[in-house]
Amino acid sequence: MRVVSNNTNKRVAPLAALLGLEFTANGAKPLTFGVNRAVKAMGAAKSETLVVGDQIFTDVMAGNLAGIRTVLVEPFHLEKTWTFRLKRRVESVVFHRDYSKLEEK
């Protein structure tokens, strides 16, 4: 298991150490660079990798773009900045959309 974060080494290292996990910082999510670096560092195949995250537009999108299965989880705590709250509101619209009415092609 490995943590991929958009934060810097300095910010990610203490949390990863506390959890006893390796990490990839500066992940540039939703781009696939960080996710692909993590998969390579673990020596794993994408088919046996799972991206777990609490943000649709970073974690889930990065995993999907990299061709890796993803799981969206609820955040541990809500962010307080207005930009994060706005992003969470947009994510909730996407998450709660009724996809059953979409035509399968």
Q: What is the pLDDT of residue 77?
A: 66
DSSP string of 23-68, one letter each residue: EE----TTSSHHHHHHHHHHT--GGG-EEEES-IIIIIHHHHHTT-
Say if residue 22's pLDDT is above 60: yes
Residue 51 counted as domain residue: yes
Residue 52 counted as domain residue: yes
d(CA 71, CA 51): 6
Say if residue 2's pLDDT is above 90: yes
Residue 102 counted as domain residue: no
Q: Looking at the 3D structure of the chain, how many domains does it have?
A: 1
Domain that holds residue 69: 2-75
Say if residue 97's pLDDT is above 70: no
Q: List Cβ neighbours of 25 (8 Å cut-off, separation of 6 or more).
A: 5, 7, 8, 9, 11, 12, 13
| CATH classification of the domain holding 24 | 3.40.50.1000
For 47-89, write each residue's pLDDT tens digit.
999 999 988 889 999 999 999 999 988 877 666 777 767 766 7
Q: What is the pLDDT of residue 80?
A: 73
